Amino acid sequence: MKFVIAIDGPAAAGKGTIAANLVKKFKFAYLDTGLLYRAVASKSLDEGVKPEIAASNLTQNDLMKSNLRDPVISKESSKIATIPEVRSCLQSFQIEFSKKSGGVILDGRDIGTVICPDADIKFFICATVQVRARRRYIELLGRGVKTNLAKVSEDIIRRDEIDSKRDHSPLIKATDAILIDTSLLSIEQAFKMVEECVKKELKKSDP
Ligand code: DC
């Protein structure tokens, strides 16, 4: 069996949570592609090398750093993701991952449009800036990061702008992606909607 689930959407819309629940439910392999960009940003800052150089020398250890979800790395990852050389360095790894046998889930910004245009099912997960900022703020507080809601909201707006307006592989809904607005949904409700769509599609591909 081969089944690819592509999940895209802006920061803090709930992609990661939905993907984690899908992994639990269907036991599919999962790649958080944002983590690759975060690792490049962190390596570039730590080692004082150009993002292109960091991207071409990325190792498994770079993906395990504990600071990858810090606000400074979030901001930097959005910036370095605009560099075409960085994107092309990371592209082949993502495409290879998507070709694994069995079920795979990839989440990011350009999965349904560029990395897996032929995915079996595509989701575009969104939510209002206010809802996303509040979620991210609570998550950061829980991790002991000192910040405030206004700052988190500003960061999200800036990242949305950079991610969706860049020239290469911008954040955009694939025409055949299922749009899920999680603004007014609980995690359980959002997951239920996604799960139903996946079950239906799985049945079609393996009746
Ligand atoms: O999903 P995330 O917030 O961890 O992603 C961090 C940044 O990486 C995001 O602001 C833009 C970039 N990114 C990208 O350009 N393409 C992807 N497929 C995934 C992430």
pLDDT averaged over every residue in the chain: 96
Residue 6 has pLDDT above 90, yes or no: yes
pTM exceeds 0.95, yes or no? yes
Q: What is the pLDDT of residues 130-147, one digit of tens each?
A: 999 999 999 999 999 999
* Percent of the chain topping pLDDT 90: 97
Q: Which atom of ligand 1 is nearest to the CA of 115?
A: 18
Q: Which of 17, 18, 30, 37 to mutate to test the pocket of ligand 1 (most atoms within 8 A of CB)?
A: 37
Q: Whose CA is nearest to atom 1 of ligand 1?
A: 34
Q: Name the band, by pLDDT with cuts 50, 70 and 90, for residue 207.
A: low
pLDDT on residue 1: 82
Q: Name the band, by pLDDT with cuts 50, 70 and 90, for residue 101.
A: very high
Q: What class, spelled out in words, does domain 2-205 have in CATH? A: alpha beta
Number of H helices, E strands in the chain: 8, 5
Which whole-number Å values give the CA distances from 173 to 10, 108, 124, 149, 203, in the listed order?
A: 10, 11, 6, 27, 25
Q: Whose CA is nearest to atom 2 of ligand 1?
A: 34
Q: What residues flank ligand 1, with Cβ below 6 Å?
A: 11, 33-34, 37-38, 77-78, 81, 108-111, 159, 163
Q: Which of 91, 155, 163, 173 to mutate to test the pocket of ligand 1 (most atoms within 8 A of CB)?
A: 163
Rounded to an integer, the average pLDDT of 53-69 is 96
Burial of 18 (0-12, 13-18, 19+ CB in 10 A): buried
Q: Which atom of ligand 1 is nearest to the CA of 163?
A: 11
Give 207 or 203, the one with higher predicted confidence: 203
Q: Does residue 35 contact residue 63 with C-beta atoms inside 8 Å?
A: yes
Q: What is the pLDDT of residues 157-191, one digit of tens each?
A: 999 999 999 999 999 999 999 999 999 999 999 99
* DSSP H or E segment with residue 31: strand 29-32
* DSSP H or E segment with residue 108: strand 102-108
Q: Which atom of ligand 1 is nearest to the CA of 81?
A: 15
Q: 40: CA distance to ligand 1 center in Å?
A: 11
Rounded to an integer, the average pLDDT of 47-61 is 97
Over the range 84-110, which residues count as b (16 or more CB within 10 Å of their CB) and which as e? Answer: eebbebbbeebeebbeeeebbbbbbbb
Q: Name the band, by pLDDT with cuts 50, 70 and 90, for residue 15.
A: very high
Q: In whole angstroms, what is the distance from residue 117 CA to residue 4 CA?
A: 10
